[in-house]
Structure 1
Amino acid sequence: MNYIIGMDIGTTSTKAVLYGEDGQVYTHANEGYPLYRDATGMAEEDQEEILTAVTKALKQVISYLDLKRDNLRGVSFSSANQSLIVLDKNHRPLTRVQTWGDTRSAKYAAQIKNSARGQSIYEKTGTPIHPMSLLCKILWLKNERPDIYKKAAYYCGIKEYIFYRLFGVWQMDISVASCTGLFNIFQQKWEQEALKVAGVSEEQLPPVVDAYHQFSGLKDEFVKKTGCPANTTFIQGAFDGALSNLGVGAIDAGVVAVTIGTSGAVRVVTDHPVTDPKGRIFCYAVDKGHYVVGGPVNNGGVVFRWARDNLFDAEKSTAALLHKNTYDLLTEIAAQVPAGSDGLLFHPFLSGERAPIWEANARGSFFGLTQMHTRAHMVRAVLEGIVYNLYTVLLALEEVVGQPKEILATGGFARSQLWRQMLADVFETPVTIPQDFESSCLGAAVIGMKSLGIVDDLSVVKQFIGETSTYDPNPKNFAVYRELVPIYIRLTRQLRPEYENIARFQIEHSHSQNED
């Protein structure tokens, strides 16, 4: 048998899936690690913990193989984007990993966004001006951590650091580079205007390679830790969002992928770079001939988790007695409430927000509460609010790339029939749920297969996905949502001027409590 491994270095865990050349899954592994939030706006990880997770996950899937008989053709990678590690002249870390969710550079993002250069940089890089980007993170470092900034010899993300440790190679794929806010997606090279604003040089950033770039030479230390042969071919791959689209088969024009995991995204693939005059959506490379256009949201499943932990703590024990998943119990409770939650709206901005408003200071809110509303209304409103926000991203996307032909939905939420139907009703479009298994890993594996010459075209992924199910909009429900969504959108606009004020109060109040 010939096998290929798809690996995804994600925000909360690293996953590895062993595939046959027919796309069949033979085994998989998942190794988690913590996210550190030791200060307001911080969202960091420890690169050594991630490296350990990568080696453990790789070892687990390789242990399935009989390497005397089986042929491991290659290992291909996906990773979270917009992470930052600062290195000294010997490539040793000076910081932990700042993840995409770190918002401490909000002040500097606002300065760039409000300057004459802001829109120009966005239009060249395809990356909205936001604290998630390396451009803003480095500017924060320059101003708030000058001691580290002065020592900084190199900058990279988590995948680049892992590859440097495993192989000693120093390189970044075009997909991850295109997410930094420092890379010109039209000219496919580092953008000088953005570099000047950040105060970095090309020499401090890794050389950029294509997604199909191959390398080998795993260091002896990691050969022993993983059981992976030293001569195994590794493939560079791309960032997780782009590969998630590929992994569910959303690679044709007009096919939109909606993903809700911890966070969420709405994305469509094009064959050329596209930017938005209003700056609401991103455009990142998959490889040199494919681009993914869309918008990410901070607030997906993490908001449902907040509702579970803070509004329905008692239901955890009830679910345990019933041998049910707590989330399943909560969706059953939400399903008892009619579409629209009897006029209760929820803005899910518990972690600021990216698309389409790109406001790091955004805050969540319930609107329309009356005495008739119950916790059941609140949990349904939470679920609907997440979907309303995704729908506003789709509306922005439609202005740039046109109406979708098809919507594919994936992620943890897609296991819930209520959420699937809610998505179809709010979007007023049939929603297809592919039978995906770790779509970013599958996308990475298909990139690897093309690199190795196993397949000629990325569209082969459609043969690997398996069965699908489709949910049609309920006319009664979408009529309700058609009334409520405009209220949700207008309310967002009206609240925006106050987001900065309430965020400032919360930060100052938090500081004063800490001092006490």
Structure 2
Amino acid sequence: MTTRGNVIGVDIGTTSTKAVIFGERGKVIASHAVDYPIIKPHPDWAEQDPDLIFSAVVESISIAIQNANILPHDILALGFSTAMHSLIAVDQSGQPLTRSIIWADNRSVKQADRLLKDMNGLEVYKRTGTPIHPMSPLPKLLWMKEEAPELFQRAYKFISIKEYVQYQLYSTYIVDHSIASATGLLRLDTLDWDEEVLQLVGISRDHLSDPVPTTHILIGMKQEFANKMGVSPDTPFVVGASDGVLANVGVGAISPGEAAITIGTSGAVRTISPVQKTDEKGRTFCYALTDNHWVIGGPTNNGGILLRWLRDEFGSPEREVARKLGIDPYELLTQYAEKVPAGSEGLIFLPFLSGERAPYWNANARGTFFGLSLHHKREHFIRSVMEGVCMSVYAVALAIRDLTGPIQEIRVSGGFAKSPFWRQMLSDMTGKELLVPESHEASALGAAAVALYAIGEIDSLERIKDWIEIKHHHVPNKENTSVYLELFYMYERLYNCLKDEFDAIAAFQRKL
């Protein structure tokens, strides 16, 4: 597959926005990323500055174009990928009344619990495809209505960070079906707002943007921002989808039986189905991509952020040694973990330092080391943390298998994919061969593919596989798989035994 020019995939993520310029056959011509912080003004809160993120979008595109040394007429289109579940209240002039409340925010735990137990939450999930959890805008809106009623009443619109960016550029309120289907407010069968849920929250459809397909094209960007970016105002701006569903496209996990596993700051397992599917137990999500592509999967809260936690809070010696050796501290942590056999000699880690989403959807879950004895050393803790992340991902994969059938092929992406050791561990955990694409820019590449599809440069998303080269593959070690299977069942039993205690300790922590 070849194209007439360059396409830009923009990935608005949790910790940074990256613009990636792709040329012929998906070759990366240039890229640039701009970081921004997560603001935590209170326990369980997680927010970001929407204007800082908008500036990051403009800057990342501008510098990527400068680095590529291309002109506006060399750009076919821009496609956008965005993290899900953000919520911003804005006034009538489009000014934010709140920061962007992101997926990691757990302030609406009580509202989510009440939705699930007393407000027919499981049926709401079955209609909308979004599990009932504080991550999603539905319980966040209920929290705002109950805890900040004056703000709630003042709001003109409730939007996501992508809608905020689009409004700044085009002065229009639209939301793609993918982002909308992750709000808990959109019916999957009609791809329109669910009137019953809106009444439950106490808002009307006028408080929300107009839903549009992921291939919807905007033209006529404000000249000021087009000049800053280095694009033409009439360059097609394809609204795109959420980062999770686009990661599947970007690694080529598009056909039934193919799964994508992403472990970055958090993690996720996803597969694409030609039809909508929700889970009777409410364990998985169902989000829109196109009319005949529905992404079934589940996210985990705890991925690479746990290694960062280890490095920052307990890894001072490793950081100092790594500095002297001129290597990445993560590389040193991994070398220590490699000294320990699979299973960490019976040290099991429940990796719920940020609560957990799929498959348990329990914001009160907490991290737990189990099986600790005097023979366990520093390296055992490091390996058990890495194994705990893999176990949480495997639990999601099993829930998806129950819904969609056997997973035949796994393709991986995210920061963890840079570690051969961690990739092999996941292969051993799942008992499946892992394929590692050449590019780690899965969501940006998926956004670029949807943009090309929208403007007619490719006739199907499946054509993106022509761009994807497999750089590595891992075959599971059967002995390690046997060890992990035994420990995984113990991991699940531990979670179930500790559910009540998680509630108790979470309530205690919220009083501090």
TM-score tier, shorter chain, comes to over 0.9
**TM-score using structure 2 length:** 0.98
Matches of 2:69 and 2:311, distance apart in 1: 44
1:119-134 superposed matches below 5 A: 119-134=122-137
Pick one of 125, 135, 139 that aligns with 2:138. 135
The one-character-per-residue Cα deviations of 1:227-250 (angstroms, maximum 9, x if unpaired) are 222221111100000000100000
Aligned twin of 2:249: 246
- Cα deviation for residue 415 of structure 1 reads 1.0
**Secondary structure at 2:7's aligned position in 1?**
strand
Single out whichever of 472-481 and 223-232 deviates more from structure 2. 223-232
Aligned twin of 1:390: 393
Matches of 1:403 and 1:386, distance apart in 2: 22
Matches of 1:317 and 1:66, distance apart in 2: 39
Give the conservation status (yes or no) of the 8 Å contact 1:311–1:375.
no
Pick one of 166, 182, 192 that aligns with 2:169. 166
- Cα deviation for residue 472 of structure 1 reads 0.9
Pick one of 78, 88, 101 that aligns with 1:85. 88
Matches of 1:198 and 1:153, distance apart in 2: 15
- Cα deviation for residue 65 of structure 1 reads 5.4
> In the alignment, does 2:30 pair up with 1:30?
no
Matches of 1:180 and 1:463, distance apart in 2: 33
Aligned twin of 1:200: 203
AA paired with 2:356?
E
The one-character-per-residue Cα deviations of 1:350-373 (angstroms, maximum 9, x if unpaired) are 001000110011100100000010
Pick one of 13, 16, 25 that aligns with 1:13. 16
Single out whichever of 66-75 and 48-57 deviates more from structure 2. 66-75
The one-character-per-residue Cα deviations of 1:196-230 (angstroms, maximum 9, x if unpaired) are 22211111110011111111111122123222222
Q: CA 1:375 to 1:191, structure 2 compared with 1: closer, same or farther past 3 Å? A: same
Aligned twin of 1:268: 271
AA paired with 1:437?
H
- Cα deviation for residue 68 of structure 1 reads 5.7
1:20-169 superposed matches below 5 A: 20-64=23-67, 71-169=74-172
AA paired with 2:454?
S
Matches of 2:46 and 2:379, distance apart in 1: 31
AA paired with 1:16?
A
Q: CA 1:116 to 1:35, structure 2 compared with 1: closer, same or farther past 3 Å? A: closer
**Secondary structure at 1:360's aligned position in 2?**
coil
- Cα deviation for residue 323 of structure 1 reads 1.1
Matches of 1:490 and 1:315, distance apart in 2: 34
Aligned twin of 2:468: 465
The one-character-per-residue Cα deviations of 1:110-148 (angstroms, maximum 9, x if unpaired) are 000112511110000010000011110000000111110
- Cα deviation for residue 280 of structure 1 reads 0.5
Structure 1, unmatched stretches of 5+, are 511-516
**Secondary structure at 2:19's aligned position in 1?**
strand
**Secondary structure at 2:120's aligned position in 1?**
helix
**TM-score using structure 1 length:** 0.97
Matches of 1:507 and 1:204, distance apart in 2: 32
Aligned twin of 1:357: 360
- Cα deviation for residue 64 of structure 1 reads 4.1
AA paired with 2:197?
A
- Cα deviation for residue 437 of structure 1 reads 3.1
The one-character-per-residue Cα deviations of 1:68-93 (angstroms, maximum 9, x if unpaired) are 69521111111111000001122221
Give the conservation status (yes or no) of the 8 Å contact 1:121–1:193.
no
Give the conservation status (yes or no) of the 8 Å contact 1:174–1:288.
no
AA paired with 2:330?
Y
> In the alignment, does 2:326 pair up with 1:319?
no
Single out whichever of 124-133 and 286-295 deviates more from structure 2. 286-295
AA paired with 2:491?
Y
Give the conservation status (yes or no) of the 8 Å contact 1:258–1:410.
yes
Matches of 1:493 and 1:196, distance apart in 2: 35
AA paired with 2:496?
R
- Aligned CA-pair RMSD: 1.2
Pick one of 458, 471, 483 that aligns with 1:455. 458
Q: CA 1:261 to 1:455, structure 2 compared with 1: closer, same or farther past 3 Å? A: same
**Secondary structure at 2:26's aligned position in 1?**
coil
Matches of 1:448 and 1:7, distance apart in 2: 11
The one-character-per-residue Cα deviations of 1:312-334 (angstroms, maximum 9, x if unpaired) are 22110101111111111101100
Give the conservation status (yes or no) of the 8 Å contact 1:238–1:287.
no
Aligned twin of 1:372: 375
> In the alignment, does 2:482 pair up with 1:475?
no
Matches of 2:454 and 2:399, distance apart in 1: 34
Give the conservation status (yes or no) of the 8 Å contact 1:4–1:21.
no
Matches of 1:377 and 1:502, distance apart in 2: 26
Pick one of 374, 389, 400 that aligns with 2:403. 400
AA paired with 1:248?
V
Matches of 2:311 and 2:132, distance apart in 1: 32
**Secondary structure at 2:278's aligned position in 1?**
coil
Aligned twin of 1:235: 238
Give the conservation status (yes or no) of the 8 Å contact 1:8–1:14.
yes
The one-character-per-residue Cα deviations of 1:139-158 (angstroms, maximum 9, x if unpaired) are 00001111100101111100
Single out whichever of 84-93 and 63-72 deviates more from structure 2. 63-72
1:480-495 superposed matches below 5 A: 480-495=483-498
Aligned twin of 1:345: 348
Runs of 4+ in 1 over 6 A off after TM superposition: none
Pick one of 279, 284, 303 that aligns with 2:282. 279
Give the conservation status (yes or no) of the 8 Å contact 2:31–2:67.
no
Aligned twin of 1:181: 184
The one-character-per-residue Cα deviations of 1:31-54 (angstroms, maximum 9, x if unpaired) are 111110110111100011001101
1:415-430 superposed matches below 5 A: 415-430=418-433
Give the conservation status (yes or no) of the 8 Å contact 1:3–1:70.
no
**Secondary structure at 1:63's aligned position in 2?**
helix
- Cα deviation for residue 506 of structure 1 reads 1.0
**Secondary structure at 1:349's aligned position in 2?**
coil
Matches of 2:30 and 2:49, distance apart in 1: 27
> In the alignment, does 2:291 pair up with 1:288?
yes
AA paired with 2:199?
K
